[in-house]
Amino acid sequence: MLISFGAIGEWPLAVGLSDGMTLKDGSLGPPLQPARLLEILNRHGVDFVVVGGLAGLAHGSSYPTFDLDVAYARSEANLHCMVKALEEMDVTLRGAPPELSFQLDARTLANGANFTFDSAFGRFDILGDIDGMRDYESLRSRACVEKIDGVAVRVASIDHLIAMKRTANRPKDRLAVEEYIVIADEQQRLAQEEAGDGDAGSGG
């Protein structure tokens, strides 16, 4: 599925622009520009999977989102790639007092897991521990490649998104689960139809 956010139209507190998606809520800092964030991650060779609201949108969800969430591999090499990407994004820890010292390097990422950042291109969260998932490798193995605002990235499967939302279990997560189940059923129906068409075509 190609997600072109400039074509989505008007969402609550969101405006799509013709030169790529931006989502803006004045209380959240700079508007989210997912194409810029994803392009930086790809260019620096970061091993990641898009999760959260943007992953839901890639599967056809109608719920808007104002941040980008990614799960990432915890290998030493990938941590160094992530640091380079974060440096280019000009990130700061979200909600941290200005005087708090934060050393952005691979050791810091290794000593933590989940970090919430403000960046020059909107809110950006990286998740080393993913609620509802056994490990990153399981998540990655079932991810599909989609284009989000023209950038090809791995996106978590709808079944894994459902598992994450069920584990979080906030009111907004429970609402999302209801929609995601409908999407999962539709994906399964379409897959069965395609399989049936293939069988019919091969039968001569």
User: Among 36, 115, 35, which residue's Cα sits nearest to residue 74?
Assistant: 115
What is the dihedral sign for C-alpha 151, 121, 157, 182? negative
pTM comes to 0.84
Q: Residue 85 — φ and ψ, nearest 5°?
A: -65, -45
pLDDT, tens digit, for every residue of 51-96? 999 999 999 999 999 999 999 999 999 999 999 999 999 999 998 8
Q: What is the pLDDT of residues 164-183, one digit of tens each?
A: 999 999 999 999 999 999 99
Three-state secondary structure call for residue 42? helix
Instruction: List the structure tokens of 176.
Output: 């999302």
Residue 202 burial (CB count, 10 A):
7
Q: What angle do CA 48, 87, 15 make, to 5 degrees?
A: 70
Looking up residue 156, the CATH number of its domain turns out to be 3.30.460.40
**Number of structural domains, the chain?**
1
Which domain covers residue 73, as residue numbers? 2-202
